[in-house]
Amino acid sequence: MPSSIFVNIPVRDLKASMAYYKALGFDHNPQFTDDTASCIVIDETIYFMVLTHEKFRQFSPLPIPDPKAQTQALYCLSRDSRAAVDAIAQAGLAAGGSEVRPAQDYGFMYSRAIADIDGHVWEYAFMDMSRMPTE
């Protein structure tokens, strides 16, 4: 059985965050969803727990940084094509996200970085390893 990853991120408005991720095409698991948290299903092994600040504080005594002012982490999800990268980036922008930087095209890799409504940066990337430079 493959390992699963659960990433916990603090959000200011749980319902708005759930709507944002739904607009990107991600479902949530109602078994792990309540008034303080929602399990966003990326795929069968990747889950993001969006937690209210109060809930997040139960897991870490450290201050919660403002992701619009400080970088907490960068989350990168691979996509199957350049078009799929553009599609999810456009969905994020339409749902209230913001583009962090212009698209990056390295020939073998194409990526875009979109901040969600809380400022968490999501990078979406397509890699064509057959075009990877050898040197």
Q: pLDDT tens, 2-30? A: 899 999 999 999 999 999 999 999 999 99
Query: Tell me, what's the pLDDT at 103?
Result: 97
CA 95 to chain centre: 13
pLDDT in tens, 73-128: 899 999 999 999 999 999 999 999 999 999 999 999 999 999 999 999 999 999 98
Cite the beta strand spans of the chain per DSSP E: 5-11, 27-29, 37-43, 46-52, 74-78, 98-105, 109-115, 121-127
Domains defined along the chain, listed by start: 1-59 (3.10.180.10), 71-135 (3.10.180.10)
pLDDT band of 132, cuts 50, 70, 90? confident
